[in-house]
Structure 1
Amino acid sequence: MTDLDGNFDVIIFGTGLVESIVAAALSKAGVKVAHLDNNPYYGGNEASLNLDELASWADSRSTSSENPETVFGYLAAQRNKFFSISRSSLIPDHSRHYSISLAPSLIPSVGPLISSLIASGVSRYGGYRLLERVGIYSSGSGLQNVPGSKEDIFRSSLSLIEKRRLMRFLVFASGEFEGSKELQGYEQTAFPEFLKSKFSLTHEMMDAIVYALAFCSSDTDSTLFALTRLRSYLRSAGRYGASPFLVGHYGGLGEIAQGFCRVSAVNGGVYILDKKAKKITTPSSTSGDKFVVQLDDIPEPLTADVLVTAPDQIFESLHLPQVQDTPSSLLARCIAIIDKPIPFPPFLSSGDGSSEGETEWASTTGDEDADEPSLVPGAPSGAHVEAPPIDTSVIIFPPSSVNGGSSTKAAQAFITGAGTLSAPQGKYVVYLSVPILDDEDPEPLIEPYLGAILSLAYASEPLFKLTYAQRVSFPPSSTTDQSSISVSPAPPPHLAEISDFASSAAETLYFRIIDILKLRSPQAWTTESSGGASEGGDVFSELKVPMWPPLESSREDEGGEE
């Protein structure tokens, strides 16, 4: 760092997914970016950590200390967001072979994030696998498959009438239903009531649609809201395979955030991790017109025209006006390691030799022109060949489906194995979550669901368990009086929405920053062209700056400063 040129256009605090996408896009647009983080790792609240790092993360947020606040108040903000933390004292062997996500997620195959991954070239760095199964659990019938495609429906054990009704609904839900006679007057009605009234679906089928296809957390979600979300998932099916969702390797979003940071570094971004800002001077309090940032252990100050900060890394001296949060809610979360797969019931044979587990998705390796995930044939599964264990799955627990569980909210379990490179061979990471009330202890409420998972896997105890509560609030991106300071929005921890929310929020923030930079230095964002006398001489026009310019031949394996 001794030769660091400390003058930047933009300084970004936090390497969460939103901030990392913004950093990559700005760097590719020629903006000089410094990207900082209090943490020694990339990803912020979406980071992927090995088990030792996860234990350290949990301990630092649950252990009281004499002076818990950093200069940024980062640790205090983290302890307000993550609390009631309890973990196993013993760490399993091969702890560094795990990649645990702080923000487990499914990536829709069609949507803002997958578009950004391809357009930016970040898809070259990661691997992806199709979500293999979605199941729904009840104490009476156990684990049942949820058909999410035409092929699944015809291979399911539903009766012919049920198949026809379900197909009719899925065709409706994947189309342009706004203004339809079926929806008229039901837009704000509870989704299950609409399904029963208009499509005569059984209670079991309604549960599958509401909780396992539309990913609603309760039966009070409005029909229009649920249908809109469900349509986006249905339209994602078929792009890479039957499932609408991809699962990222190495923990998912944390690895993806690091990929965007890599693109930023290759295009000139400077990265400084594990350093705290001890002082930030605003332009109004200096003779200059730039922010001045002084970091611990780095003598040279950094300067910038624009600051961007994650919500939990806001520096107190910036005196940002308080943004009124929407009412916060709480999630009970559990991360558990088990050593047995969860057996799903088989689908009926389709008669064409195909079966579940037929294909898996991997990254492009070494092919610079192939920016989408590539389809790799898996082992065929015929009538006399045992199907491999399910490596990626989601299990939904509707309200009142488990004794001792929530009677009003659905719980979700997301399971990943060695095929996603998130665990050693034969081990599985289980992510459990369920909404809770302010006065509820997360551990007793999460235990019945973990017990059901262990029972399904024929396992007695998890090898490792971490439970905690997460505060969920949705503050808007800051539009402060100081237009040169932006606070990035925190993505909601919704299993199927967090990735696309982050990408869309990053795009909005990117164009806002570009507009600020254009206002501060108009001459730097114009281009000159010669004009004749009739045109009044030389012509100056504003440069157009797309989010992702066309990819050039790859330079992405070299370069960058750190």
Structure 2
Amino acid sequence: MAAEDLPSEFDVVILGTGLAESVVAAACSRVGQRVLHLDRNSYYAANWASFTFNGLLTWIQQHHEESQPEEVQDWSSLLEEGEELIYLSYSDSTSISNLQVFCFTSEEDEGEEAQSPDPPNTTEEETAANGDEDAVKAASTDSTNEDPKDKIKEVTDGEGEGQQTADSEGVEPTADLPRPSAIQGQSEASRKKISYAQLVKEGRQFNIDLVSKLMFSRGSLVDLLIKSNVSRYAEFKNVTRILTYRHGNVEQVPCSRADVFASRQLSVVEKRKLMRFLTSCLEETEEQQAYNGRPYLEFLCDQQLGDNLEHFLLHSIAMVTEDTPTEVGLASTRHFLRCLGRYGNTPFLFPVYGLGEIPQCFCRMSAVFGGVYCLRHSVRCLLVDKDNRCKAVIDSRGQRISCSHFVVDSSYVATEQKKVTTPTRFLSRAILITDASILPSNSGQQVSMVTVPPIAAGFPVVMMVELCSSTMTCLPGTYLVHLTCQSVGSAFDDLSPVVTKMFHTPETDDQETRPSVLWCLYFNMADGLDVEVEGHNLPSNVYLCSGPDGHLGHDHAIRQAQLIFQKILPEEDFCPPAPNPEDVLYDGESLLPTGGGGGDNSGWGEKGEETKENPQTEE
């Protein structure tokens, strides 16, 4: 919608299209609020976004360019009696830093002339935009973050009939069958060398997330997708393997009952010990309580499980550090176990086409219920009355828009207006395009979550997610690898040693059997975990949303969205189910919305048996 066509009055104005803001928009629109949702970017989801390869090159180039400070305009002529102005930030210059790009593949296809930009110089920092300017500029139109109404997709079942991926029965992962175009061999002979020119040429086949997370099958995001029926707008795949890096090798972690009995890494005695321990974890006991406040590793050692099981339980199942308190480690272990068996052999789901789909799904729901969307559009300042409430906003075209509540991404708010109790923490991120899986398998279409313990003293724990082409996030014949950790130094300093150890790069010429890195990007991203919704030097009806945090799941963002909604509409239900099209009856009849949700079976039964859930509608 053009800026001049915007209505002049809304109930809720939301600035930023990150996950929390998009959920708030959907929840408010669903219960009848008039919502205006803006974003200064040309794409949805802000730092939660997914890009094509060329779109990512454009994003990198934009962050390399020094932003010119815009002239602060005087909007005092729009003030009414008793009002004052609060200006917002024009640009976000602090949430992303230390970008470094390396290209380890050839410039041209063999036997063909180059049809694409030059690859980045692998010996210099900040080299993403060294290619042909026309190709990079054209990438700005290739971002996958299009209008959410264009993102509804269908999945074909085993019989070839189209169906919605997630209907009223809950989130239904797609069948994990290799697509004909995506079947890839893993032998050295079958690994085709892919050039930088080909990456650019086929760039639209990539959907590269800025943030790397997974969806716990019993996490707050999946529960919300089911409850609200937003799950119908997306497709999901199971994460098929849990892996860990140990003694210089990548090993599969047995976590489900089936995996434990099928494992060749564990002896019969170890299998019995692991099954007994996992069963005992489900209920809290006095023995466990006696270890409260003591390290979880100490508790595991006292169970006499052995080094193998201690490593798997600490790093890959509980996913905690050695000094994590026992009560926290046990809670994480229980959560992992209860997520097993709902949709597959691991606790995790991943959205097809990338995590950037999820904010767009909630934007789609908001638009369906009347939400107004406008990209490349921002709010310049707030108009505050004498009661310290935001009465209206002034947009980037100088239009005054009245509102009752204002929700904003924290990156739009100046530092002096935010209550900051601790220095901003950062996440270190690395995105790799590789030519093979970190642990080859017969199918070649595995989605893997890998835990990498500290490779040396002073290094952080690294979480790695490896995506295959059937997730529609990378070119067939390649894998997309995301690495994330809490920052100790720059992303390159934190993560390049892990990349060097686990992948083939020019620094590891003797490791030809490992996957080769074709292209990689390092950057630091602000950790949004410490951003509070309220308590800032802002009007009482202004609420802040944070960017992505360092946790593997989405609980922090969903919790923020729910808290903001309750502040705005304390008497309303948060994201009630949207009616299915077949349930909409006309001629004066009421809507018949269907609920969502799965059964209440646990991934591990009372006796340690894994249960396979058949999702059913809950009343």
1:358-391 Cα deviation digits (max 9, x unpaired) = xxxxxxxxxxxxxxxxxxxxxxxxxxxxx31143
1:200-220 Cα deviation digits (max 9, x unpaired) = 12223212111111222x312
User: 1:434 and 1:278, CA in 2 relative to 1: closer, same or farther beyond 3 A?
Assistant: closer
Alignment correspondent of 1:279: 381
1:150 shift after superposition: 1.0
Q: Distance in 1 between matches of 2:469 and 2:515?
A: 21
Q: Distance in 1 between matches of 2:382 and 2:543?
A: 15
Does residue 29 of structure 2 align to residue 27 of structure 1?
yes
1:436 shift after superposition: 3.4
Match 2:545 to one of 488, 509, 515: 488
Alignment correspondent of 1:342: 438
1:494 match: secondary structure: coil
User: 1:510 and 1:65, CA in 2 relative to 1: closer, same or farther beyond 3 A?
Assistant: closer
Letter paired with 1:476: E
Alignment correspondent of 2:479: 428
Q: Distance in 1 between matches of 2:96 and 2:68?
A: 19
1:467 shift after superposition: 0.4
Does residue 411 of structure 2 align to residue 312 of structure 1?
yes
Q: Distance in 1 between matches of 2:293 and 2:445?
A: 38
Q: Distance in 2 between matches of 1:445 and 1:490?
A: 21
Alignment correspondent of 1:48: 50
1:470 shift after superposition: 2.5
Whether contact under 8 Å (1:108, 1:246) holds in the other structure is: yes
Q: Show the 5 A alignment for 1:166-177.
A: 166-173=274-281, 175-177=282-284
2:449 match: secondary structure: strand
Does residue 603 of structure 2 align to residue 507 of structure 1?
no
1:487-529 Cα deviation digits (max 9, x unpaired) = 124442222x2x22222221121111114xxxxxxxxxxxxxx
Alignment correspondent of 1:235: 338
User: 1:3 and 1:492, CA in 2 relative to 1: closer, same or farther beyond 3 A?
Assistant: closer
Q: Distance in 2 between matches of 1:487 and 1:332?
A: 23
1:271 match: secondary structure: strand
1:73-132 Cα deviation digits (max 9, x unpaired) = 353xx4322211111426623112211111111101112111111122211111110001
Whether contact under 8 Å (1:343, 1:390) holds in the other structure is: no
Whether contact under 8 Å (1:332, 1:446) holds in the other structure is: yes
Q: Distance in 1 between matches of 2:582 and 2:542?
A: 31
Structure 1 residue runs of 4 or more that deviate by more than 4 Å after TM superposition: 68-71, 405-408
Match 2:365 to one of 255, 259, 263: 263
1:119 match: secondary structure: helix
Letter paired with 1:474: D
Match 1:397 to one of 437, 452, 456: 452
Alignment correspondent of 1:469: 524
1:430 match: secondary structure: strand
Whether contact under 8 Å (1:48, 1:101) holds in the other structure is: yes
Match 1:73 to one of 89, 93, 118: 89
Letter paired with 2:428: A
Q: Distance in 2 between matches of 1:476 and 1:26?
A: 20
Letter paired with 1:136: T
1:172-215 Cα deviation digits (max 9, x unpaired) = 22x231xx122123111111111111x21222321211111122
Q: Distance in 1 between matches of 2:310 and 2:287?
A: 16
Q: Distance in 2 between matches of 1:279 and 1:476?
A: 21
Whether contact under 8 Å (1:22, 1:510) holds in the other structure is: yes
Q: Distance in 1 between matches of 2:478 and 2:70?
A: 35
Does residue 501 of structure 2 align to residue 452 of structure 1?
yes
1:7 match: secondary structure: coil
TM-score of the two chains, using structure 1 as the length reference = 0.77
User: 1:549 and 1:333, CA in 2 relative to 1: closer, same or farther beyond 3 A?
Assistant: closer
Whether contact under 8 Å (1:187, 1:222) holds in the other structure is: yes
1:315 shift after superposition: 6.2
Match 2:219 to one of 88, 96, 111: 111
Alignment correspondent of 1:186: 291
Alignment correspondent of 1:539: none
Does residue 66 of structure 2 align to residue 15 of structure 1?
no
User: 1:25 and 1:84, CA in 2 relative to 1: closer, same or farther beyond 3 A?
Assistant: same
Alignment correspondent of 2:99: 85
1:336 match: secondary structure: strand
1:122-179 Cα deviation digits (max 9, x unpaired) = 1111111000111111234x11110111111111121121111111221122x231xx
Whether contact under 8 Å (1:339, 1:459) holds in the other structure is: no
Q: Distance in 2 between matches of 1:165 and 1:40?
A: 54
Aligned length: 465
User: 1:41 and 1:555, CA in 2 relative to 1: closer, same or farther beyond 3 A?
Assistant: farther
Q: Distance in 2 between matches of 1:245 and 1:457?
A: 31
2:475 match: secondary structure: coil
1:327-375 Cα deviation digits (max 9, x unpaired) = 543332110111222335x7xxxxxxxxxxxxxxxxxxxxxxxxxxxxx
Q: CA RMSD in A?
A: 2.7
Q: Distance in 1 between matches of 2:353 and 2:524?
A: 24
1:429 match: secondary structure: strand
Q: Distance in 2 between matches of 1:471 and 1:220?
A: 25
Letter paired with 1:334: A
Alignment correspondent of 1:127: 235
Q: Distance in 2 between matches of 1:280 and 1:205?
A: 56
Whether contact under 8 Å (2:392, 2:400) holds in the other structure is: yes
Q: Distance in 2 between matches of 1:280 and 1:315?
A: 13
Deviates more, 1:323-332 or 1:239-248: 323-332
1:391-422 Cα deviation digits (max 9, x unpaired) = 3102222123xxxx555532221111211111
1:241 shift after superposition: 1.5
1:290 shift after superposition: 5.8
Q: Distance in 1 between matches of 2:42 and 2:207?
A: 16
User: 1:147 and 1:74, CA in 2 relative to 1: closer, same or farther beyond 3 A?
Assistant: farther
Match 1:331 to one of 404, 413, 427: 427
Gapped regions of structure 2 (runs ≥ 5): 73-86, 103-119, 121-130, 132-195, 505-510, 585-619
Q: Distance in 1 between matches of 2:539 and 2:241?
A: 48
1:252-303 Cα deviation digits (max 9, x unpaired) = 2x111000001001101011111132333223399xx863222224x64321
Gapped regions of structure 1 (runs ≥ 5): 347-386, 516-543, 558-562
User: 1:7 and 1:338, CA in 2 relative to 1: closer, same or farther beyond 3 A?
Assistant: same
Alignment correspondent of 1:295: 395
Sequence identity of aligned pairs in percent? 29
Match 1:213 to one of 303, 317, 321: 317
Whether contact under 8 Å (1:97, 1:424) holds in the other structure is: yes
Q: Distance in 2 between matches of 1:295 and 1:315?
A: 17
Alignment correspondent of 1:554: 581
